[in-house]
Structure 1
């Protein structure tokens, strides 16, 4: 059923990109940077073909990880990375297709990854290619779980989009510096995702499974936070070193490099806390504390958006935007950490899910 929902949403995203891509890009970029629209539109139109495959692949990946099968997704992502890298070199460097070549390479890699994810599910006994249309009641059940998660993810993506929106209004050099730094930042933050996936795979049985053990759940979370802190510090130093010491790997423009160097401190501060935040939010997802997670992320988005508006209106430039990002990341960490260490929280109170048990018995 979730594969069907993902496929339907993917088709909707494809149609949205196809027919509304140019107006949305124009509104987002602004009148000062209209020369960017044709290249950007070419990129998103090609990438749009992969939307159904991307969403279906994400559902298949989550199903495999939920069954503690990480080898199938690993092989799919490794193959996708190899195809994407080889395609970029071939289409961009050898054939000179530019941004269109990069888009085709990424699109092809995402389609291949989706099919490999589905095949991995088939090997576990599922018929992944046999989609099932959910009934209204089943859609409601899916909505009750997916809606808070959707709000959480949308708030996070919206903040990053808002960050890029404000950076875009500061000129071409600032845009270039921001794009370099945000891409390196995203490459580093990916290293924290396995901690979230580990929490989502192992925490449910410890928190509300048949062999429930809150002591083991707390021990697992402690280990994940320690690993996250060590990973964050390592990524912080390594991830900051490349733009600082080897900026010519990304650009030869001295003005762009100068803008990059201005934001290294907030970049480092935002990066070091990200892996630990992933482990905390993964635990909240595993414990289905979805209402708190969605409300806290929405609050962080509103707070971060106000800070962005304030710093940009006062002419703080790209540096102010990245300090807002650092505040956004630390606010996420603080709220999730306080929730999980609360004596009345899911990891300490055996009555945390009492209202759900009562609802089940009533049903």
Structure 2
């Protein structure tokens, strides 16, 4: 019996709605930190913005642990091999633990140089280094959460990651209030709250995997190497994304203190909206992996068209939400008058980009679910090259935040073109296990 449009929508929503809650947990962590740290004297908020940019880049580079694992597990489930799917998941967990420990060893001594690279000096740099180094202790847990989430999503269990994320977010908020405002630990208290919340979330995932699903505990070196190799293209793709965002933050830092604080607020909102749109992309990863694993090309095409429609509609709704909430944001973040003046115009640019972002995120998720990582890596390089002249023009001309966010719009348009052209073709429609 053919799948109706209503059935398709229910299939998408069943995965996307819980994924939305789980996905926004990480930006909500940072948004909560931003609201609480915003109560501290300057340059605490700017330090949070600089340090969290480095952290977001680091964890973002490792998003293949979730995305690659989701696609691999979903394809095996679609092909009817549950045992092999679980083995893929265990390999991802071991890889996450190893990468997390390596990240601490590599980034800890480089912390002062990294924040300086983003334009931070003096007290701003000192507080940024403090936040970054404390937060590094939670990176292995963050990566275990990514891998565990990917396994469960590939098995079409989107509800468990939602429940874990809600619990971790609530704990993070309580600990931040206690450590920052109650005990007066400053930006370090904000970092410690997030570390403890992430560690507890990782422990829950490990119990779920090894107790509930009775996965084999021992590492499989060959499987871990294969997982790392398969994720290499996604690392390139993600590195290009993070490079664009880091360059934008660096440019805002050089504009002045009010500009970097305003950019930090807008970037937090952008991240929150991006993760919300990515909920449909997560559904795309799972649905595409399952349908191609089962050899259903026509179903994959139909689901893709429907998810693109959902992406456009969601982007329009989120853009309108940004415009309506704009006047209230300075008060929410306790922004000074100079920061509030810098917020208004670039917020409009961010709002207008949301429908484009909706399509981009959906197609990105569909191609990840299809295992088309090599193309995504190449497209990431080309779109970054398209962005560089635009942001260079902003720096050379002395443009402000509106010009900077317009340059980000050039990048999003380039992504829309490269992903759209690929989705129209057939080379990504590879079936079977």
Does the pair score TM above 0.5?
yes
Specify the alignment match of 1:66 in structure 2: 154
Higher RCO structure (Cα 8 Å, ≥6 apart): 2
How far does the alpha carbon of each residue in 1:2-34 deviate from its partner, in whole angstroms, 9 at most, with x for none? 22221111011111232221122123225xx33
Bigger mean CA deviation after superposition, 286-295 or 250-259: 250-259
Q: In the alignment, does 2:219 pair up with 1:132?
A: yes
The question of 1:175 aligning with 2:265 is answered no
Residue in 2 aligned with 1:11? 101
The question of whether the paired residues in 1 share the 8 Å contact of 2:386 and 2:414 is answered with: no
1:120 is the counterpart of 2:202: no
Question: Does the 8 Å contact 1:231/1:275 carry over to 2?
Answer: yes
Equivalence for 1:95:
183
Please give the per-residue CA displacement for 1:338-358, whole angstroms capped at 9, x wherever unaligned: 21123x4435xxxx67xxx9x
Structure 1 match to 2:131? 43
Given the superposition, is the C-alpha separation of residues 244 and 329 from structure 1 closer, same or farther in structure 2, using an over 3 Å criterion? farther
Task: Specify the alignment match of 2:406 in structure 1.
Answer: 323
Q: Provide the rounded CA distance (Å) in 1 between the counterparts of 2:207 and 2:175.
A: 23
Name the CA shift for 1:134/1:260 in 2 (closer, same or farther; >3 Å).
Answer: same
For 1:286-325, list aligned pairs within 5 A: 286-325=369-408
> In 2, Cα distance between the equivalents of 1:314 and 1:276?
31
Q: In structure 2, how many angstroms separate the alpha carbons of the residues matched to 1:203 and 1:230?
A: 21
Give the match's secondary structure for 2:353.
Answer: helix
CA deviation digits over 1:57-91, x for unaligned, max 9?
21111011111111221111111111111112222
Contact conserved, 1:148 with 1:294, CA < 8 A, in 2?
A: yes
Match of 1:111 among 190, 199, 205: 199
Match of 2:323 in 1: 240
Deviation of 1:301 (Å):
1.4
- Is the contact made by 2:115 and 2:129 (CA closer than 8 Å) also made in structure 1? yes
Say whether 1:163 aligns with 2:253. no
> Matched residues in 2 for 1:107 and 1:35: separation?
23
Determine if contact 1:270/1:327 at 8 Å carries over to the other structure: no
CA–CA distance in structure 2, aligned partners of residues 287 and 239 of structure 1: 32
Deviation, structure 1 residue 168: 0.7
The Cα shift of 1:192 comes to: 1.2
Name the counterpart of 2:354: 271
Deviations along 1:108-135, one digit per CA (max 9) or x if unpaired, are 111111111222223542337x240513
Number of residue equivalences: 343
Q: TM-score, normalised by structure 1?
A: 0.89
1:319 is displaced (CA, Å) by 1.6
Larger deviation: 241-250 or 190-199? 241-250
Shift of 1:166: 0.8
Q: 3-state DSSP class of the match of 2:259? A: helix
Displacement of 1:248 after TM fit? Answer: 1.6
| 8 Å contact kept, 2:356–2:412 | yes
Separation in structure 2 between the aligned mates of residue 224 and residue 254 of structure 1, nearest angstrom: 41
Q: Residue 142 of structure 1 corresponds to which residue in structure 2?
A: 227
1:27 aligned residue: 117
1:19 aligned counterpart, secondary structure:
coil
Aligned with 2:309 (options 226, 230, 233):
226
5+ residue gaps, structure 2: 1-90
Q: C-alpha displacement at 1:316, in angstroms?
A: 1.3
DSSP-derived class of the 1:38 partner: helix
> How many Å apart are 1:38 and its aligned residue?
1.1
Cα drift, residue 245 of structure 1: 4.3
* SS class of match (1:288): coil
- Alpha-carbon offset, residue 143 of structure 1: 4.0
Residue ranges of structure 1 left out of the alignment (5+ in a row): none
- Please state whether the residue corresponding to 1:263 is helix, strand or coil: helix
| Structure 1 residues 239 and 117, CA gap change in structure 2 (3 angstroms) | farther
Measure, in 2, the Cα distance between the counterparts of 1:12 and 1:206: 36
Shift of 1:160: 0.5
Identify the match of residue 337 of structure 1 among 401, 420, 423: 420
Inter-CA distance 49–245: structure 2 relative to 1 (3 Å threshold): closer
Instruction: For residue 203 of structure 1, report the CA deviation from its aligned partner.
Output: 0.9
Q: Does 1:202 align with 2:290?
A: no
Per-residue Cα deviation, 1:34-54 (whole angstroms, up to 9, x for no partner): 320111111111101111111
